[in-house]
Structures are given as C-alpha cells and as structure tokens.
Amino acid sequence: MKKNIAVYGLSALAALVVTTGTALAMRMTYALPPETASFRDGPGKDVVVSNCSGCHSADYIATQPRGPHFQAAFWNAEVNKMIKAYGAPISKEDVPKIVDYLVRTYGTAR
C-alpha cells in the first residue's frame, strides 16, 4: 500500500510540474508604445539603423555625452563595447561607418 501511495504522489507531482511548465511556456505578446525617437539623418544612418536599432532605440544614442572629448575614440570604444560586452553582431566593415556617423551626427555639443 505504501508503494502505491508513493507512486501516486510522484505521478501527481509530475502532472503538476508538467501542467505548470506548460502554463509558463505559453506565448505572450506585449503591445509596445510607439517609438518617439529616430536616428538623425546623415551619411551612414542606414548602417546604424540596421546594426543598432535591434537592441536599443535612438534615445540611447541621443543621451550619450557630447563635446570635444566624445569624438571618434569615444564612439569607437562604445561600438566595440556593444560587440564585445553585449554580443552585437556588427561586422568589422561596419564599425568605421557607424563610428563616422556617430561622430558627425552626435559628436557635437547639444
């Protein structure tokens, strides 16, 4: 009798895990608010949009520091950080295009 109780208990536990797991795996959708920021026009914008907008909005770039200390070296470090630290799938050929766009478009004082 004790064996049967143990088997039924394990079966009930397995059924609970399966049922709960199924409920947790259900697809959920979210309605996101409309994007309010856009990348500024400039040479290389298409490369930036295709490489950067999959992970963050233009707001992220627009809020970065600006001025004489935040030019090519700063933006190159930021792009490479996205690649190395966050795994951004940016090709080596696109890095200089992205950096150039960011310097020209976002590198000046606000």
The domains of the chain, with CATH numbers, are: 45-106 (1.10.760.10)
pLDDT band at 33 (very low <50, low <70, confident <90, very high): confident
Q: Show the tokens assigned to 57.
A: 């909005």
pLDDT band at 29 (very low <50, low <70, confident <90, very high): confident
Assess contact for 86 and 55: CB atoms under 8 A: yes
Q: Show the tokens assigned to 33.
A: 């608010």
Q: Where are the alpha helices (DSSP H) in the chain?
A: 2-24, 45-52, 58-62, 72-84, 94-106
Is 22 strand, coil or helix? helix
**Residue positions counted in the chain:** 110
What pLDDT score was predicted for residue 31?
A: 84
What is the pLDDT of the chain when averaged over all its residues? Answer: 82
Mean pLDDT, residues 2-14: 58
- 48-72 pLDDT, tens digit per residue, is 999 999 899 898 888 888 888 778 9
pLDDT band at 30 (very low <50, low <70, confident <90, very high): confident
Give helix 45-52 / helix 94-106 axis angle, nearest 10°.
110
What pLDDT score was predicted for residue 21?
A: 55
